[in-house]
Homo-oligomer: A and B are copies of this chain.
Amino acid sequence: MFIGEYQHNLDDKGRLAIPAKFRGQLSEGAVVTKGLDNCLSLFTKEGWDFEAERLMNLPLTQAKARAYARFMLSSAFPVEIDKQGRVNVPQALRSFAGISGSTVVTGLGDHVEIWAPEAWEEYRSHIEKDSGNIAEELGI
Contacts and interface: CB of A to CB of B under 8 A. Distances in A.
A76 interface: yes
Given A3-B73, A4-B76, A4-B77, A68 B138 contact: yes
Contacts of A118: none
Interface string A116-133: 000000011011101110
A107 B137 contact: no
A35 to B, nearest CB: 9
Size category, A interface: 35 or more
A66 B36 contact: yes
A56 B1 CA distance: 11
A55 interface: yes
A21 B78 contact: yes
Interface in A1-27: 1-5, 21
A74 B6 CA distance: 9
Interface string A74-87: 11111000000000
10 contacts: A34-B128, A36-B135, A64-B134, A64-B138, A67-B123, A68-B127, A68-B134, A68-B135, A74-B108, A74-B113
Given A2-B73, A70-B113, A76-B107, 15 more contacts: A3-B52, A3-B73, A3-B78, A4-B74, A4-B75, A5-B74, A5-B92, A36-B131, A36-B132, A67-B123, A68-B127, A68-B140, A70-B108, A74-B106, A74-B124
